């Protein structure tokens, strides 16, 4: 076995050890440095794994402990998993570095090591969701992910965040309950928990036509559970508060990564537990398609009516999750490829939007309302550029990251007329709606403040700092890296799509 095959296990265990060790640090600076090094190490390992697996077009299963296939626990990695792990650790690092000042301001100093503990466990559980080959392990790590995600919401210790946390936790637990029931039913009809063994049984069941009702129930419950946790449209009610009220780094990571961890598990289930054909024959993809389309439109409509900048960005996440589910609901390979690409595009864009919004809010006297932010981009140029790039990418302008997935969604929908008409209409309408709330925001940020500063002060009712707060080098550099990555994703989408295709082919 090549040594590089140990990478998935090493990166999961490294984050866990980091999480256990971090609370013993008393020094905030040391905590932050150690944490950054850990995440960077995970990134470097995943990058190596990705390059090796991609060039060899290789995938492997890794035995945990010494029990062979039907009994033991396994990890599984291919180019797609390695790519996702690499992207997740990179965005985690950028968000934590960029949101560092927010963390220092919002969280009590004694709690900061605990916050990083939760971040470490969060990364480790997301990596485990990406790499796992076992349904029950997936459930356990879903729960760990839930607990960590909720605690990073409540790290900013105000009444509103605790309320947001409890609502988030309740919805998440409903989702976990569904998922666990689904896994239980799947176990009782197949007798296995490892994905590859379950798949053999499921294919046999589907061919013989036995147990169709339990199979549909189990798949439906699992998809429903994951959909609740990734805030698909009718189940999104927890998202705006949880993402809008927490500290910047938490918002960025929750929107950019936590929602996607569950979706990647769903993609993996789609290929490794069921097959895309079985998913389509059980009509689950159609439900996902309809809910995805609804989410694309309703998320944008809700965002249009929002005046709180962070809640607006949070509602935009609901719309983007709709895109991803619609791609998976098309039931074609190109559709799932587009969904995977959109996971990347959204993961690179949304944290940047949250970080830039934080920069803009900082120079406007910590006001979150849109009207108080008028002209903010003139005061903090790089944050302004970051927000503009993010907004254009979310609208789907060519050269930006959000453009390519829309094209591929269009291509993926062409196999059936019904899908094609609905997809094109939904894409057009959703692009229009995105433009309707992002463009006025961008224009307002860059235009001259209409009223003198003093009046803004009175209208906001808060004290505006006369002198500019010192700009954070970390925030600026992380926004800069995000902008560059956004252009890379938007211009070089051909090769990246090629990598995703290779990964998906090896996943099956």
Partner 1 sequence: MEVILSHYYDIASVILFGIGFFTLLLHRNLIKKIIGLNIMDTSIFLFLASKGYIFGRVAPIVSEGATNAELYINPVPSGLVLTGIVVSVSVSAFLLALAQRLYKKYKTINLDEIIVLAKKEEE
Of 69 and 381, which CB lies nearer to partner 1 in the complex structure? 69
Q: 78: closest CA among 51, 60, 63?
A: 60
Distance, CA of 193 to CA of 294 (rounded, Å):
33
Q: Kindly write down the DSSP assignment for every residue of 84-145, as one continuous string.
A: HHHHHHHHHHHHHHHTHHHHHHHS-GGGHHHHHHHHHHHHHHHHHHHHB-BHHHHHHHHHHH
Quote the least distance from Cβ 323 to partner 1, whole Å.
Answer: 27
Measure Cα distances from 17 to 155, 276, 310 in Å.
Answer: 21, 37, 33
Quote the least distance from Cβ 508 to partner 1, whole Å.
Answer: 27
Could you tell me which residues are beta bridge partners of residue 76? 61
Quote the least distance from Cβ 187 to partner 1, whole Å.
Answer: 7
**73: contact with partner 1 by CB under 8 A:** no
Q: Which of 52, 166, 420, 462 binds partner 1 (CB under 8 A)?
A: 166
Q: Which of 60, 181, 424, 487 binds partner 1 (CB under 8 A)?
A: 181
Q: 235: closest CA among 267, 262, 213, 215?
A: 262
Q: 127: closest CA among 88, 179, 183?
A: 88
**184: contact with partner 1 by CB under 8 A:** yes
443's enclosing H/E stretch is: helix 417-446
Quote the least distance from Cβ 308 to partner 1, whole Å.
Answer: 10
Quote the least distance from Cβ 168 to partner 1, whole Å.
Answer: 10
Distance, CA of 11 to CA of 123 (rounded, Å):
9
Tokens 């709690």, residue located: 111
**462: contact with partner 1 by CB under 8 A:** no
Of 73 and 477, which CB lies nearer to partner 1 in the complex structure? 73
**63: contact with partner 1 by CB under 8 A:** no
Could you tell me which residues are beta bridge partners of residue 61? 76
Tokens 């409540």, residue located: 154
Quote the least distance from Cβ 418 to partner 1, whole Å.
Answer: 33
Asked if 286 and 278 count as a contact pair (C-beta separation under 8 A), the reply is no
Quote the least distance from Cβ 178 to partner 1, whole Å.
Answer: 8
Quote the least distance from Cβ 75 to partner 1, whole Å.
Answer: 18
Question: What size, in residues, is the chain?
Answer: 508
Quote the least distance from Cβ 169 to partner 1, whole Å.
Answer: 6
Distance, CA of 403 to CA of 392 (rounded, Å):
9
Q: Which residues contact 72 (CB under 8 A, 6 or more apart)?
A: 63, 64, 65, 66
Q: Which of 193, 288, 328, 404 binds partner 1 (CB under 8 A)?
A: 193
- Using CB under 8 A, which of the segments 81-89, 102-110, 171-179, 350-358 binds partner 1? 171-179
- Using CB under 8 A, which of the segments 100-108, 177-185, 387-395, 397-405 binds partner 1? 177-185
- Using CB under 8 A, which of the segments 180-188, 378-386, 465-473, 492-500 binds partner 1? 180-188
**62: contact with partner 1 by CB under 8 A:** no
Q: Which of 37, 72, 188, 447 binds partner 1 (CB under 8 A)?
A: 188
Could you tell me which residues are beta bridge partners of residue 184? none
Of 224 and 507, which CB lies nearer to partner 1 in the complex structure? 224
- Nearest 5°: phi and psi at 345? -60, -45
Of 1 and 463, which CB lies nearer to partner 1 in the complex structure? 463
Quote the least distance from Cβ 193 to partner 1, whole Å.
Answer: 8
- Using CB under 8 A, which of the segments 14-22, 185-193, 326-334, 356-364 binds partner 1? 185-193
Of 188 and 210, which CB lies nearer to partner 1 in the complex structure? 188
Q: Which of 13, 47, 51, 162 binds partner 1 (CB under 8 A)?
A: 162
Distance, CA of 40 to CA of 63 (rounded, Å):
25
β-strands 73-77, 60-64: how paired?
antiparallel
Q: Which of 165, 356, 434, 502 binds partner 1 (CB under 8 A)?
A: 165
Distance, CA of 111 to CA of 25 (rounded, Å):
11
Work out the number of other CB atoms within 10 angstroms of the CB of residue 374. 20
Q: Which of 10, 62, 187, 424 binds partner 1 (CB under 8 A)?
A: 187
Quote the least distance from Cβ 163 to partner 1, whole Å.
Answer: 5
Contact track, partner 1, 122-161, x by CB under 8 A: --------------x--xx--x--xx--xx--x---xxx-
Number of residues located near partner 1, criterion CB under 8 A: 29
**64: contact with partner 1 by CB under 8 A:** no
3-state DSSP call for residue 25? coil
Distance, CA of 8 to CA of 78 (rounded, Å):
10
Distance, CA of 99 to CA of 249 (rounded, Å):
5
Distance, CA of 287 to CA of 43 (rounded, Å):
36
**51: contact with partner 1 by CB under 8 A:** no
Residues that bind partner 1 (CB under 8 A): 136, 139-140, 143, 146-147, 150-151, 154, 158-160, 162-163, 165-167, 169-170, 173-174, 176-177, 180-181, 184, 187-188, 193
């Amino acid at each position: 076995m090549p040594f590089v095959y140990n990478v998935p296990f090493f990166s999961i265990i490294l984050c866990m050890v980091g999480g256990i060790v971090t609370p013993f640090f008393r020094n905030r600076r040391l905590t932050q440095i150690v944490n950054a090094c850990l995440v960077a190490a995970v990134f470097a390992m995943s990058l190596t794994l990705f390059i090796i697996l991609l060039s060899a077009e290789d995938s492997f299963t890794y035995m945990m402990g010494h029990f062979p296939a039907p009994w033991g626990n396994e990890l599984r990695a291919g180019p797609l998993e390695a790519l996702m792990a690499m992207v997740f650790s990179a965005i985690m690092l950028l968000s934590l570095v960029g949101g560092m000042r927010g963390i220092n301001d919002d969280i009590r100093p004694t709690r900061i090591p605990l916050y990083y503990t939760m971040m470490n466990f969060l990364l480790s559980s997301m990596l485990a969701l990406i790499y796992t080959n076992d349904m029950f392990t997936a459930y356990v790590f879903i729960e760990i992910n839930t607990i960590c995600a909720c605690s990073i919401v409540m790290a900013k210790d105000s009444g509103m965040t605790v309320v947001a946390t409890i609502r988030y936790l309740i919805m998440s637990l409903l989702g976990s309950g569904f998922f666990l029931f689904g896994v239980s039913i799947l176990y009782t009809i197949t007798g296995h928990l490892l994905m590859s063994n379950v798949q053999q049984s499921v294919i046999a069941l589907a061919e013989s036509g036995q147990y169709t009702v339990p199979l549909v129930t189990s798949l439906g419950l699992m998809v429903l559970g994951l959909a609740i946790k990734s805030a698909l449209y009718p189940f999104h009610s927890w998202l705006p508060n949880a993402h809008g009220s927490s500290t910047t780094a938490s918002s960025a990571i929750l929107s950019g990564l936590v929602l996607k961890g569950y979706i990647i598990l769903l993609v993996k289930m789609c290929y490794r537990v069921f097959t895309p054909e079985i998913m389509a024959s059980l009509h689950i993809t159609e439900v996902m398609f309809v809910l995805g389309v609804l989410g694309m439109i309703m998320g944008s409509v809700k965002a249009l009516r929002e005046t709180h900048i962070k809640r607006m960005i949070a509602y935009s996440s609901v719309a983007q999750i709709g895109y991803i589910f619609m791609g998976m609901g098309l039931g074609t390979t190109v559709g799932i490829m587009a969904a995977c690409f959109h996971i990347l595009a959204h993961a690179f864009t949304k944290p940047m939007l949250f970080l830039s919004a934080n920069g803009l809010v900082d120079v406007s006297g910590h006001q979150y309302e849109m009207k108080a932010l008028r002209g903010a981009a003139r005061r903090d140029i790089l944050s302004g550029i970051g927000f503009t790039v993010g907004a254009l990418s979310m609208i789907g302008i060519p050269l930006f990251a959000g453009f390519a997935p829309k094209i591929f969604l269009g291509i993926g929908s062409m196999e059936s007329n019904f899908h094609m008409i609905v997809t094109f209409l939904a894409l057009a309408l959703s692009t229009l709606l995105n433009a309707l709330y992002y463009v006025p925001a961008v224009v307002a940020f860059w235009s001259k403040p209409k009223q003198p500063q003093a009046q803004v002060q009175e209208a906001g009712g808060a004290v505006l700092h006369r002198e500019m707060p010192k700009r954070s080098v970390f925030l600026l550099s992380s926004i800069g890296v995000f902008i560059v990555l956004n252009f890379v994703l938007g211009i070089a989408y051909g090769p990246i799509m090629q990598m995703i295709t290779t990964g998906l082919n090896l996943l099956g």
